[in-house]
Structure 1
Amino acid sequence: MFVHSNLKFLRGKMGLTQAELAEQVNLNRSTVNNYENRLADPPLDIVVRFADYFGIALDSMLRIDLSSLTSGRLKSVMDGTDAFVKGRNLRVVATTVGDDNIDNIELVEAKAQAGYLSGFADPEYIEQLPIFRLPFLNPGRKYRTFQIVGDSMLPIPPGSWITAEYLDDWTTIKNGTAAVVLTLDDGLTFKIVENMIEQMGMLRLSSLNPIYKPYAVRVTNVREIWQFSLFISPFLPSGNIEHDQLLFALRDLQTEVKELKRRLPQ
Structure 2
Amino acid sequence: MSNIASNLKFLRKRKGLTQQQFADVIEIKRASVGAYEEDRAEPKYELLKKIAEFYDLTMDELAHDIIDEKWKPTPKSNASNLRILSVTVDGQQRENIELVPVKASAGYLNGYGDPEYVAELPKFSLPMFNQGSYRAFEIKGDSMLPLPSGSVIVGEYVENWHDIKPNQTYVVVSKEEGVVYKRVASKFKDDKGLKLLSDNKVYEPYWVPAQDIVEVWKAKAFISTVLPEPSPEPTMETLTAMMAQMQKTINSVVDNK
- Quick check: which one's helix share is greater? 1
Instruction: Give the match for residue 185 of structure 1.
Output: 176
Q: What is the alpha-carbon distance in structure 1 between the residues aligned to residue 59 and residue 186 of structure 2?
A: 22
TM-score by length of 2: 0.61
Residue 107 of structure 1, CA deviation: 0.9
Instruction: Give the match for residue 198 of structure 2.
Output: 207
Q: Considering only CA atoms, is the larger Rg found in Structure 1 or Structure 2?
A: 2
Contiguous gaps of at least 5 residues in structure 2: 1-24, 26-47, 231-257
1:134 matched to 2:126? The reply is yes
Work out the number of aligned pairs and report it: 178
1:149 is aligned, of 117, 133, 140, to: 140
SS in 2 for 1:51: coil
Contiguous gaps of at least 5 residues in structure 1: 1-25, 27-43, 67-76, 240-266
Deviant stretches of 4+, over 6 Å: 44-47
1:121 matched to 2:113? The reply is yes
Query: Once the two structures are superposed, what CA deviation does each residue of 1:174-222 show, in whole Å capped at 9, x if it has no partner?
Result: 1112000000011100001134434633100110000000000111100
Q: What is the alpha-carbon distance in structure 1 between the residues aligned to residue 175 and residue 200 of structure 2?
A: 23
Contact 2:171 2:216 in 1 (8 A): yes
Contact 2:135 2:156 in 1 (8 A): yes
Instruction: Give the match for residue 210 of structure 2.
Output: 219
Contact 1:171 1:195 in 2 (8 A): no
Contact 1:156 1:237 in 2 (8 A): no
Q: What is the alpha-carbon distance in structure 1 between the residues aligned to residue 52 and residue 117 of structure 2?
A: 28
Contact 1:155 1:237 in 2 (8 A): no
Aligned CA RMSD, in angstroms, stands at 3.0
Query: Once the two structures are superposed, what CA deviation does each residue of 1:79-99 show, in whole Å capped at 9, x if it has no partner?
Result: x5x1x4223x3x111111011
Q: What is the alpha-carbon distance in structure 2 between the residues aligned to residue 174 and residue 47 of structure 1?
A: 31
Contact 2:99 2:136 in 1 (8 A): yes
Residue 49 of structure 1, CA deviation: 3.3
1:85 matched to 2:76? The reply is no
Contact 1:180 1:228 in 2 (8 A): yes
SS in 2 for 1:212: coil
SS in 2 for 1:95: coil
1:174 matched to 2:165? The reply is yes
SS in 2 for 1:141: coil
TM-score by length of 1: 0.59
- Percent identity (aligned): 37
